[in-house]
Homo-oligomer: A and B are copies of this chain.
Amino acid sequence: MSSGEDRLIATYFKPLATAQGALGLTDDAAIYAPPEGHELVLTTDAVVSGIHFLPDDPPETVARKALRVNLSDLAAKGAHPAGCLLTMALPEGTAETWLKCFVAGLQSDSRLYGCPVYGGDTVRTNGPLWASITAFGTLPRGTMVKRAGAKPGDVILVTGTIGDAALGLKLLQDPDHIEQWALSHDEAAHLAGRYRVPQPRTAMAEAVRVLASAAMDVSDGLIGDLAKLCDVSGVSARVDAAKIPLSVAARRAFATAPSLIEVIATGGDDYEILVTIPAGKVAAFRELANTAAVPVTEIGEIVAGREPLQVIDVDGKQLAFAHGSFSHF
């Protein structure tokens, strides 16, 4: 009397349910209790084929992106991953090999980040394939870092490099850019890889939790996301465009086409952490980042007032962007 969905669960998803409370995905629900003195941080994000990933992206990277965009939120709040629930919709005729590879990608990241699957739902769709993940993490009660909390004088830093994923998407959509931007094969692959597989900064969660006045992950574009952080913090910011950290590949693309600064600064899909640190704690933050082997870069400072944030170019002129932030709407 086993249904098709039960077979999919038993074959593909059960191996991901390594936590005891997941009950091997044989029940209606799972059990979880945070450690003593801790609380849960909850987030949810979905990826849709043709919107958040390309229909011919490898299934392993689709799975990893679906999980990692959630892990990025947890890291930016100072939380450590504890588990997730996965809902996915499969169009009629989805190959079992596709699903097998998707699960392999999820399993590898689930182990890497210590984020087992606690439950899920598998549904049919007559539209594009999608996966929706709800992830939960833990941290000591009352210590979640919010977007609100940035104070004038705080230093603004970001992890990693900005703009790679947005450039990577452009490349994947139009490979002519590789030549136009004078990129090597490796550089092009780097940018595409950054679009397909974000690097959630889980290793920085503790440093963020202990030292940041405010933080968020950069998912909709650096400038737009910083504007959101400033808005809920009741402050403004001054960003030095020349300090925005670029990868070698992004730097080369930008050198051939300086107008790409807009794509870089507002394109989205970076999944780096944007953080504000009181000036006196920046050295400590840098030290923890160094220990975690995560590059961090100062890009500006928080200023008083509620004016739109200022992005200053190398020549001292203020940059204006048509779109501050990336949105599918």
- Contact surface of A with B, Cβ cutoff 8 Å: 1-8, 23, 26-34, 38-46, 48, 50-52, 73-74, 76-77, 79, 85-87, 89, 118-128, 130, 132, 134, 141, 144, 146-148, 216-217, 220, 223-224, 227-228, 232, 308, 324-329
Contacts and interface: CB of A to CB of B under 8 A. Distances in A.
Given A44-B87, A45-B87, A51-B125, 13 more contacts: A1-B223, A1-B325, A27-B232, A28-B216, A30-B43, A32-B40, A46-B87, A48-B123, A50-B126, A87-B132, A123-B130, A124-B329, A126-B128
Nearest to A30: B42
Contacts of A50: 126
A3 B73 contact: no
Contact of A3 (B48, B76, B122, B327): B327
A123 B51 contact: yes
A27 B329 contact: no
A46 B132 contact: yes
A32 B28 contact: no
A272 B13 CA distance: 26
Contacts of A23: 146
B119 A44 contact: yes
Contact of A29 (B41, B118, B126): B41
Contact of A124 (B29, B32, B48): B48
